Amino acid sequence: SKRKTKLSKEEVAVLIAGVPLAERQTLASLSKATRIPTTTLWRYIKSGWVRRAVTRVKPTLSKTHIFRRLLFCLGHIERPIGLKYVLLFTCEVLLY
């Protein structure tokens, strides 16, 4: 027979949700903030009950920064000798 857990899954969820994001960055800091052992938290992650989430927000670029990046990229393109026309491809994603 399995040993009973001290905390229910609902109690663990409340404890984890109550921890500020800055203290949830690593498993060790989350363990310290919730007072739940690291191995127990790891077991919850492994079983799929607790899920890791990574969020990353890319900064929006200003018009001048977009233009400078485009000039930098164009400066590193090798054009064959004898090319009469300069081909410029614009990407709608870069222009917004």
pLDDT tens for each residue of 15-59? 999 999 888 888 999 999 999 999 999 998 898 888 887 777 777
pLDDT at 36: 92
Q: Report how far apart the first and last C-alpha atoms of the chain are (Å, whole number).
A: 61
Question: Could you identify the residue written with the tokens 């203290």?
Answer: 23
CA 71 to chain CA centroid, nearest Å: 29
Q: Would you state the structure tokens that stand for residue 46, as one six-digit string?
A: 């492994």
pTM higher than 0.95, yes or no? Answer: no
DSSP secondary structure, 13-78, as one string: HHHHHTS-GGGGSSHHHHHHHHT--HHHHHHHHHHTSS-------PPPPPHHHHHHHHHHHHHT--
pLDDT at position 96 is 46
Q: Name which residue leads in pLDDT, 82 or 12.
A: 12
Q: What is the mean pLDDT of the chain?
A: 81
Q: Compare 94 and 42 and report the one with higher pLDDT.
A: 42
